[in-house]
Amino acid sequence: MIKPVETRNDLPTALLRALGDPIRLRILRLLEREELSVGELSRTLALAQSRVSNHLRVLREHDLLAERHAGTSTFLRLGLESATGGTGNLAARLWGALSADLGEHHADLERLRQVVAERREVDPEFFDRVAGRWDTIGIEFASGQARQRAVASLMPAGQVWGDLGCGTGYVARAMLGLCARIVCVDSSAGMLAEARARLAEHPGETEVDLRLGDLDALPIGEGELDGAVAAMVLHHLPDAAGCLAEVFRVLRPGGTAVVVELDPHREAWLSAELGDRHLGIDAQAVAAAFSAAGFEAVRMEALDDRYRPAPPPGQEALPGGGLPLYTLRGRKPLD
């Protein structure tokens, strides 16, 4: 039987009404973060369970919730992918806009942490139950720096590293506190001035040594560095060979060189906007240059990351969320 037009739940107006209530928005925000039972949701919202159930009924009518049954318990989570009546895409778009503008309901989140903590105390199978979703609910960090710094801290202390083609020092900032000295080299005095100012904002035990010079004639002594990185630099140079030969010279025996680069691409506007000489560089060509310079144990690795420079007005956004990146590293032989 076809519903009367004014009551059909698959119409955009009905969906807008469903998403127009602040409590329902709070419910969806919580269920986006954590799978909860009705009782847990009531405690998290600090509302009577009957009131929460009424709001859940409205959200269920639009299939905005997904349910999982475990014994006598029913657990709810955000389920936009199942929204019905042709409004699924609209529901996702609306939620994307609304959730971006919602404040972080701090009181709700604080109660949520308490509810989840108590659940873990009484539910020994909690982690088994959420293992399939843990990457989306339990490993969310603002920048990922905590993990990166923890792993980087395993590096030997007291070393001297080089940030070659340092620009404004964004790579060097990641090295602060992890080595005794950083030698930052760039051919642009303006870039070095920016790097000096930005690195000075993070005082610490690492000595910062900024030097003006070209990457195919590095102002660094032979064997002065324990390791060196050239991040997003080679595509600005005529070729990689001269730079990598110099990197080999300034490394001590056993030192490691790391390159971060772009896969070949077709975004020609980067040449005018960012001074790119090459539209990416084939990784095999860079690996060959590593070997020709004398490096051993050369290894390439694709990165789970994308380069996303802002396009100029009138230029379409980068496809696929950005340009693919890779790293190449090699070691200078001990003898």
Q: What is the mean pLDDT of residues 71-91?
A: 68
Q: How much is the pLDDT for 126?
A: 66
Confidence of residue 83 (pLDDT cuts 50, 70, 90): low
The pLDDT of residue 266 is above 70: yes
- pTM reported for the whole predicted model: 0.64
Q: How much is the pLDDT for 66?
A: 87
Q: Are 312 and 273 in contact, with CB atoms under 8 Å apart? A: yes
Q: Are 44 and 115 in contact, with CB atoms under 8 Å apart? A: yes
Q: What is the mean pLDDT of residues 22-45?
A: 88
Q: What is the mean pLDDT of residues 24-31?
A: 88
Q: How much is the pLDDT for 6?
A: 41
Q: What is the mean pLDDT of residues 112-140?
A: 73
Q: How much is the pLDDT for 158?
A: 92
At 9, list the tokens.
């739940």
The topology under which CATH files domain 5-132 is: Arc Repressor Mutant, subunit A (1.10.10)
Side chain identity at 75, as an amino acid letter?
Answer: F
> E strands along the chain, which residues?
36-37, 65-70, 73-78, 160-164, 181-186, 207-212, 225-231, 251-262, 296-307, 323-331
Percent of the chain surpassing pLDDT 90: 47
| Highest mean pLDDT of the ranges 62-71, 150-159, 178-187 | 178-187
Lowest mean pLDDT among 52-66, 93-107, 112-126, 137-151: 93-107
Q: What is the mean pLDDT of residues 106-116?
A: 85
**303-328: pLDDT as tens digits:** 988 999 988 888 888 888 899 999 99
Expressed in angstroms, the distance from the first to the final Cα of the chain is: 84
* Cα(131)–Cα(301) distance, integer angstroms: 28
Residue 301, C-beta contacts closer than 8 angstroms, at least 6 positions apart? 326, 327, 328
Q: What is the mean pLDDT of residues 205-232?
A: 96
| Highest mean pLDDT of the ranges 29-33, 38-42, 236-240, 249-253 | 249-253
The pLDDT of residue 84 is above 60: no
Confidence of residue 221 (pLDDT cuts 50, 70, 90): very high
Residue 74, C-beta contacts closer than 8 angstroms, at least 6 positions apart? 37, 38, 67, 68
CA 186 to mean position of chain CA atoms: 26
Where in the sequence of the chain do the CATH 3.40.50.150 domains occur? 148-331
CB-based burial, 181-215: b 16+ in 10 Å, e otherwise: bbbbbbeeeebbebbeeebeeeeeebebebeeeeb
The pLDDT of residue 222 is above 90: yes
Based on DSSP, count helices (H) and strands (E) in the chain, helices before strands.
Answer: 14, 10
Residue 244, C-beta contacts closer than 8 angstroms, at least 6 positions apart? 257, 259, 289, 290, 292, 293, 295
The mean predicted confidence, pLDDT, of the chain is 85
Side chain identity at 50, as an amino acid letter?
Answer: S
Task: Give the residue, 4 or 206, on which the prediction is more confident.
Answer: 206
Q: How much is the pLDDT for 5?
A: 37
Closest by Cα among 94, 20, 95, 32 to 66: 32
User: What are the CB-based long-range contacts (under 8 Å, 24+) for 11-18?
Assistant: 11/85, 11/87, 12/87, 12/90, 14/62, 15/62, 15/83, 15/87, 15/90, 15/91, 15/94, 16/94, 18/58, 18/59, 18/61, 18/62, 18/64
The pLDDT of residue 51 is above 60: yes
User: Strand 323-331 and strand 251-262: pairing?
Assistant: antiparallel
Name the phi and psi angles at 176, rounded to 5.
-60, 135
| Domain range 148-331, CATH architecture | 3-Layer(aba) Sandwich (3.40)
